[in-house]
Amino acid sequence: MAVIATVFAALAALLHVYIFLMESVQWTQPRVWKRFGVPDQATADAIKPMAYNQGFYNLFLAVGTAIGLALYWAGGAGTVADVAGRTLVLFCLGSMVAAALVLLTTGSKYLRAALLQGTLPLVGFVLFLFA
């Protein structure tokens, strides 16, 4: 089960790296800001600093998950590395799920985005609880 949990956690981290790239690196491209429901270039330019900042939140959660996975697999069962890794992975995945729930509270038009953002970390979180 630990391997499957790791796969879902790693996929969640990769998804959040991709979100970081869109929000913090590629934001000025119309295909990107349109994906986030931004209506025009002027609005995209106005909220660019917010998107840039938000992208880094996603990156930090992904990096935390990756470090947690590395620690988890570096230590044997019950070691400090195992406990620290598991804790970090659960915290980061739980934060990803919480962010998806917050996104959902902004309106039903964000249901698809919230499901996309939250499903992988939710599955990974549940599997890690039992791994």
| Domain range annotation of the chain | 2-130
What's at 31, amino acid-wise? R
Query: Do 113 and 29 meet the contact criterion of CB atoms below 8 Å apart?
Result: no
44 within 8 A of 28, measured Cβ to Cβ:
yes
* pTM score above 0.85: yes
Report the greatest alpha carbon distance in the chain: 53
Q: Is the pLDDT of residue 78 over 90?
A: no
What's the sign of the alpha-carbon dihedral 64, 69, 74, 78?
positive
Which amino acid type is present at position 11? L
pLDDT at 127: 97
The mean pLDDT of 105-124, rounded to a whole number, is: 94
Whether the per-residue pLDDT at 10 is higher than 90: the answer is: yes
Rounded Cα distance, 110 and 112, in Å: 6
pLDDT at 76: 85
pLDDT digits (tens, 9 = 90+) for 25-55: 999 999 999 999 999 999 999 999 999 999 9
- The 3-state secondary structure of the chain reads CHHHHHHHHHHHHHHHHHHHHHHHHCCCCHHHHHHCCCCCHHHHHHCHHHHHHHHHHHHHHHHHHHHHHHHHHHCCCCCHHHHHHHHHHHHHHHHHHHHHHHHHCCCHHHHHHHHHHHHHHHHHHHHHHHC
